[in-house]
Structure 1
Amino acid sequence: MEIQHFCHDEHPLVFNEDKAVGKLCRGCRKPVLGPSYSCIKCKKYYHHKSCAELPRELQHPLHPKHPLILFDESKFYEDKEYSKCEVCKENRWEYSYGCFRCNFYIHSTCASLRLTLESEVHDHPLTRIWKFMKFTCDLCGKEGNVPFLCAQCNFCIHKTCASSYLRRVKAIRHDHPLHLTYSSREVPQSDSPFCQLCVRKVDADYGFYYCLSCDYVAHLDCAVDERNREDINLLKLTDGESNELENEDLELDGSVDLATYIVKKINVGEDGIEIPTEIKHFSHEHDLKLSDEVENNKKCDGCVRAILPPFYRCAKCNFFLHKSCIELSRKKRHPLHEHPLTLLAKAPYRSKSFGCNACYQSCNGLTYHCEKCDFDLDVQCSLILESLSHKGHEHLLRLSTTSYRQNCSSCDSKSFQVLRCITCEFALDFECATLPLTTRYKQHEHPFKLSYAVEDDSGDYYCDICEEERVPKHWFYYCADCSYPAHRECILGKYPNIKFGGAYSFDLHPHPLTIIEKTKDHFECHKCAKPCEEFFYQCAMCNFSIHVYCV
């Protein structure tokens, strides 16, 4: 069977009953997975059968004055400005019906929408009103112009809202299911509730998700966002399956402390407390001994922060672990991720370093890792859970995870997850929230403290290291003894979560390679032949250098 289609005048489109896997329909831009039409000579112009057989002319109730003509939106308006679809208010580059005299356009898929709709968000069938009328959606609170209506309840809703939301969802950061509601009478404890997921106010006159037993409120979009929602359809779970999932959570959460080290020697203090003085940690091949002899510019191999007592060290290697790092749980759950995370010595991929999914920085310390999702948290970010008290702000900060980037008050960077204040608009991204409060810089005799305000009233804001201007509201490091302000990047370096100087073995080279931060000589990368200026691996014995991302 053949048809002559307006999209392709040169050849007819031939009917094919087989599946055309991987091809997009030219009409609706969705995959063709069933009977289709296509041009077998050009081997393109694939269509669903229904899209290829659309009538060229249509009388539609939204525009009864004139008939609408079918056209290819992407082809007709390639180089022109044009109006959006009157129903969905989008440009999707698909087949559309249009009245060019009235500048009226509607996608073919929107023109063929059903008159009635069964929706999970409402108990009764919803009827489409094919008439332009401004209304406020009773679920999302936003305006629309073509509503679905339940006359029995006087309930108006967008088509997208009717199909986007579920009656119940399970948020990663809450133990109980959240139920869809659009009645403020169900929120007895909160006059002005705020969303526990994004930490912004919720208008309780419209729809939201709610846990009555915990007085837990969440915006509609926050609760269904993939960053916050567990990949579990609670509506299809039996009681037995639900209990099994809860048991799995109990088994794998942070309260289950799987041993990360074996005690080799113990001393008993004056108060009778046993203190391990020699241990074998899973992340290192040699035994580690308890020490309090601090060396300058040494970093912990767990959290990649400056070494402070008490800590454990390896007598054979430049390897250190804080006591707090050896006591980290081997398994834990974190509100930023759906699955349990496992503490690993080094990321099991790429070049002995990983990118943290909270602060977005490179790190080569210990990582909490999800193999299924390739998700990593460095030690510092893993310690921040639902809330944080920080010296840089007077109010408690709560974890806010959104589908849009939020602005950090400390550095003006944008991030999908921040720690946000309920009282004011202050927010911190994970990079700023995990900055060390005190640190040292090279041979400077005094420590530098993290500062949250300008250090004087002169109006001149400069860094005394690079001598470049500073943004006054950005956090910086300051030595009060010397009146010495500095950019935090100048104090901590470009890669503050990388411990340089360690040697690693790779299959591509017979000798261990040392990770280098910066050098005056620009060595040529063995793989890409570009200069290695910073953050690369080197074998001094062979004069071999290679970028981290080339390993």
Structure 2
Amino acid sequence: MEVGNTIKHFLHRHPLKLIEEEEVNHEFVCDGCEKSLSPGEGPIYGCTTADCKFYLDKACAQLPKQIQHCFHPCLLFLELCHFFYCNVCFKFGNGFIYRCERCNFDMHVECAQRPNIKSIKDGEEVIQHFTHGHPLTQMVDEDGKKDLQVGYCGICDQTLICSAAAYGCEDCKFFVHKSCIINISPHINNHLFHPSCHAPLILLNTPFSYRCQGCDDKHATGSLAFGCGKCAFQLDVKCALLPTLDHFFKDIADKIQYAGHKHPLVALHDTVASEVDHRCRVCEEKWSLELELDEDPCFGCKRCHLFLHKSCMMKIPQQINHLFHPSCPLTLLTPPSSYKCAGCDDEHEPVSSLAYSCEKCGFQLDVKCALLPTLEDQSKDANKIQHVAHRHPLLALPHNNKGADNTIVSEVEYRCVVCGEKCPLESCFGCERCQFFIHRSCAIEFTTEAEIDHYSHPLHPLTLSSTAIVESTTNRRCGECLGSIDEFMLVYHCAKCNFNLHVDCAKSKQRLLVKYESHSHHLTFFDKTQAVTRCSICDGGHGAALNCVFRCVACDFNLHFYCHPSTPKTITPKCHLHPLTLAKSPFEFELISPEYQDASDQSDDEFYCDVCEEKRFKHESVYYCKECKFIAETRCVISELLPCLTGSEGYPSGDDRAISADEENSALEASIAKRTTEIAQLRDVEKSLKLKLDKLVAELETLKFKHNGVTSKLDQFETDRVLWNYQLNYNLKRKMGAAEASTSVHVTKSDG
């Protein structure tokens, strides 16, 4: 930004003032290009702060903040760097550079300012091309030696002769065919040999010798390579430009790149195929020498002993969503190490096999398990399937009569995980490793998803799990109905929170939601629960309850029906002539003898509801007619009770005015907006605390390192002191011994 003769440059914190030529009376050094500027060489911009000696010539001051250059696919940003290495001309420098931070790519400003040649016109003698850092000159046959070989094309590696339409750099001995530089791209995105890194591969002259990570060939300094600035991955041009399966159908290529393997796959010929037993890693069939090459050719990587039919490569997908791993997609890769298939548990050797992998989770499936049919894909005669209900292959039983421990499995052991009924052997699928069995009919009708998001457990998804997973947990009850988990049945499970949900309870259903002022969420009405609930308000003061409970499952908040402030204490139901009053149970007249006054030992079999005439839970409060000794469970008079909790249009307000649906929605929108703001604020606080924590951890590690250094030094000093003390005592003893010996000799001589 320029104001008068002053500019604000984005790479300097102070304003820069224009120093006119007549004002330049001594030499300056431009901080952008590092060139010395003598008086009379043009205007200079200098820092207005006296102590800051920062200068830019006019050309550097006017450089654009960002550029797009043919040498690199990403935007390049102007930066000031005191030491860098140019990836175009392979020279070191300092000052202004154009940089791609993402790819770790640096370029001299001078290299960036060379003209970009996008096409080559006939007769053009000198060009600048991204394949080389220096200008390339058109080769001319001046001596009439048109067939003289001058080298090899840096792109196609074919022999290059004088008469060829070519360009070269004599200083670097770099030559390229004209046709090659027209057709080559400066970068490749998402190369099949480089799936783990998302950075593009950039075509550059290498400053050092390198080994191609595709074919393993070694290349000399200055050779072309497609390289990744992030992970030092390099491919020679031949491997980088290999055709894929998508680019040829009828034509047979001798070498291809394939998404499932990190090396080139070469078409097998008779002489090669006869050397070893080649089996396709997809269909497991041996490649036949009698099979015509153009009918279904086989490709292989001899280095990794991986072989694949063309037809098999064409038919298997590169990425799948699988029932055995529903949370992430699986990508076809060659595993770098041996692995155990998560489906069938088979061990596989590294490199020579294929696997559908999730690198994030470390999950791997072999091709056979990954491509298993479902019942929808195949006829009813399929004997091995994948199913949403289980994470291993299911076999049609009986495929044998023996279990995993080689013992005979009886029909009694087979119970369907969906309906709970016994499974006749001839009509079910099973995984004997997990003792998991399912009727064929139940497997077809079972349409539940493998992973769901549920209202009752909003923070984490719930995964369909077998009881073998849940058995290891302490919570063996459904989070909604509080019923026990049947050892044979499927459940939805959250391993992080140890939360379970019956499949039936997880199904979408119409829910009655009731507002309770003392809780921030709506409460779900449960007509009946399978276990006694303890009220979060009265804490058992009104007794326990099985019927008519309001619950916020996510917060584990329970409210007895009769503890809700809007619950009527007296009602006049249609089932009785007199009004009924809310009362604690059991009543004294129900107790059969004095020893049962506390009712703790008296069975529920002896307590009944007079409306439905069915057994009731004895400790639950009921509606009671004292005159007639008439007892009604809350669930039997619920039609008279619910209108007291909900108005005609919506929920009751504190002043007994019914809140309309629009008012309720407006209030919810306001609450969501407020909570969103609070979440953003808390995330900022959490981020700040995390930074402080990381800093403290780093400081702690530094202190530990210093402490270890001091401790080590202390040990060394203690060792020195002990050893020196030992040496001192040793020397003193020797000295004393020598003195005593000398005295003894002297005395002997005196005596003599």
TM bucket by the smaller chain? Answer: under 0.3
TM-score (norm 1): 0.26
Q: Which has the higher helix share?
A: 2
Q: Which structure's CA Rg is the greater one?
A: 2
Q: Which has the higher strand share?
A: 1
TM-score (norm 2): 0.21
